[in-house]
Amino acid sequence: MTICFEKIPATLDELKALPEASLKEPEYGAALFVAAMMNYKDNPDLAISMLEFLKGPGGVSPFEKQFLKDRLGDGKDYVVRSYFAGTSPENDYTPSVPYTLDPQREPSPEFEGRIRVFMRSSGADSPRMVKMRLKPSTGEWFIEEEMLLPDVRIPRSLDQWA
């Protein structure tokens, strides 16, 4: 499924106004996670409030907040950018506009209201996973677990061997 954003949401209300914020498909939450984390560098609190929305009843734990700080702090925001189409280590993971993502649902059936969505990073060799959980009473898919933030190849501009 291809998902495009004309711009990265800059407020929680902007995120909630996107059609994907209906969370009616598991791919929507995975894509919105990437868009939300684009805000982390300049406004960690905003990114976390967006993640609270995307996690639904599960919320964001103190561990997850620290994990985000560890993974996205110190100029590592390029990890998030690596999921957008048109990025590569050579162009410092600079996405083209519209911001395009291609989340792919796991082909196997869901297990107890959970399904895995995979996303490709241009800086990694294999797709990475977001586990989504269905809230049956609303039909919304919320993030239960994400594994999108491990390191990727460093951008050319930071590679002292380039």
Question: Quick check: is 13 in a domain?
Answer: no
Question: Quick check: is 1 in a domain?
Answer: no
Q: How many domains does the chain have?
A: 1
- In sequence order, the β-bridge partners of residue 132 are 115, 143
Taking the C-alpha atoms of residue 129 and residue 116, their distance in angstroms, rounded to an integer, is: 6
Question: Quick check: is 67 in a domain?
Answer: yes
Q: Supply the pLDDT for residue 151.
A: 92
What are the residues whose beta carbons fall under 8 Å from the beta carbon of 32, sequence distance 6 or more? 15, 18, 20, 21, 50, 54
Q: Supply the pLDDT for residue 90.
A: 96
pLDDT digit string (tens) for 34-90?
Answer: 999 999 999 999 999 999 999 999 899 999 999 999 999 888 999 999 999 999 999
**Is the per-residue pLDDT at 159 higher than 90?**
no
Please give the helix or strand (H or E) that residue 129 lies within, else none: strand 128-135
**Is the per-residue pLDDT at 13 higher than 90?**
yes
Q: Which residue has the tokens 């999921």?
A: 83
Q: In a 3-state reduction of DSSP, which class is residue 15?
A: helix
Q: Supply the pLDDT for residue 81.
A: 97
Question: Quick check: is 10 in a domain?
Answer: no
Question: Quick check: is 162 in a domain?
Answer: no
Residue 161 confidence class, pLDDT cut points 50, 70, 90:
confident
Question: Quick check: is 12 in a domain?
Answer: no
Residue 8 confidence class, pLDDT cut points 50, 70, 90:
very high
Domain containing residue 32? 20-154
pLDDT digit string (tens) for 99-139?
Answer: 999 999 988 777 889 999 999 999 999 999 999 999 999 99
Question: Quick check: is 3 in a domain?
Answer: no
Q: Supply the pLDDT for residue 111.
A: 81
Question: Quick check: is 160 in a domain?
Answer: no
Q: Supply the pLDDT for residue 65.
A: 95
